[in-house]
Amino acid sequence: MSKPRDYRGEMKLGDPRKIKTAEQRRSDHSDYATSSELKNRKFSGYRLNTITQELELWVGGILRGVVPAPNGQPDEAKVQEISNRVFGMGN
């Protein structure tokens, strides 16, 4: 059985089902963008993908490398290795 409606709050605030809330927008920051949005923006840089727990290296809208980042902490040696491979640096 459902709980009876309490009208006391509505006397002060109005019907809560009809109160309009502010429109919420997602941040434009690259950490919140989808892969297709990064591709369209031709994003270049590192992005920590908290969903997959990976650090991603993007160059000109193309995902060029991925390093596992458990708890947001990627292995620095692997980051360096991928950066060297992508940018042709190193030995």
pLDDT string in tens for the chain (91-residue length): 677 877 766 666 666 667 677 777 878 888 788 899 999 999 999 999 888 999 999 999 999 999 999 888 999 999 999 999 998 886 5
**H or E element at residue 8:** helix 8-13
For the chain, what are the domain ranges? 29-87
Go through the chain and tell me how many residues it has.
91
What b/e sequence results for 63-86 when a residue is b if at least 16 CB atoms lie within 10 Å of its CB, and e otherwise? Answer: eebebebeeeebeeeebeebbeee
User: Is the separation of the CB atoms in 59 and 83 below 8 Å?
Assistant: no
Regarding pTM above 0.75, the answer is: no
